[in-house]
Each structure stands twice: as C-alpha cells, then as structure tokens.
Amino acid sequence: MKHGQELGFDDDGRPVLITQAAPAYEDQHRQRVRKYLTLMSFRIPALILAAVAYSVWHNGLISLAIIVASIPLPWMAVLIANDRPPRRAEEPRRYDSRRRIPLFPTAERPAIAGATPVAPQHGSDGSDGDVPR
C-alpha cells in the first residue's frame, strides 16, 4: 500500500482514523443554513421595529438607525454561513515551509533554478544574428 499525499494518510504516513473525520457534509450544510436563517430572521423584525419606532416617537433618526443597522445583516449571514468549521489541533497540516519559493529572488537563489545565461549568437559575417543591417 502506498503512503504519502493520498487521502486517508497524514503527513507522517499514518492513516487518519475515522474518529478524526470531519462531520458529514449534510450536517455541516444544515448547521450553516440554520445560522443563515437565524441571522436573516432579524431583518424583517428590524424593519417592523423601525416603523413602530417612527409611529411612536415620530423621530426619523431612530428609524433610520434601526434600518442602517439591518443593512449588513445579509452580508454577515452569507459570510458566516459559508465559513468552514475551525481546524482542530490534530488535523493534519499541508503547508511545507521547506518547499517555499521566495517572493524576491536573490543572487544565492536565482529566479529560475538551473538556467544558464545564453551568450548572444553572432552571424557568420561577425554581426549580431538578430539585428538586420
């Protein structure tokens, strides 16, 4: 049996136990939908509360503040619903810092490894081959 970067094995080549497996996709989806609906259920009551506040106090600023507070609710609901569950401490990490490519190459480590500089080629008459005369 091959060990390595296959599914079912961690970075050390040990099999990942089923007890360490993530919850089923359906369960995760159900939890995310529940969070989304809970957050979105505050939007309509906020609009009704703004109307009631205006009819009671006749102050548009209070109603406007309630409406402005309800504007980011759909955005927050989508962000929270699309978020994955947090990583557990025993969950295998996939990042390998030894294979990291530097952002800015230095003289010790050229941008293209193994590349040798190519000398300009000259034509048979002694002129550069790519510059017409």
Residues whose CB is less than 8 angstroms from the CB of residue 31 and which lie 6 or more positions away in sequence, other chains included: none
pLDDT tier, 3 (very low <50, low <70, confident <90, very high otherwise):
very low
Tens-digit pLDDT profile for residues 97-115: 666 666 776 666 555 666 5
pLDDT over 80 (residue 62):
yes
**How far apart are the C-alpha atoms of 41 and 37, rounded to whole Å?**
6
Question: What are 79's two structure tokens?
Answer: 């962000």
DSSP bridge pairs for 9:
15
105 or 84: which leads in pLDDT? 84
pLDDT of 91 > 90? The answer is: no
Question: 16 is written with which tokens?
Answer: 């990942």
Rounded to an integer, the average pLDDT of 31-38 is 93
Asked if 119 and 71 count as a contact pair (C-beta separation under 8 A), the reply is no
Q: What is the pTM of this model?
A: 0.49
Strand partners, 55: none
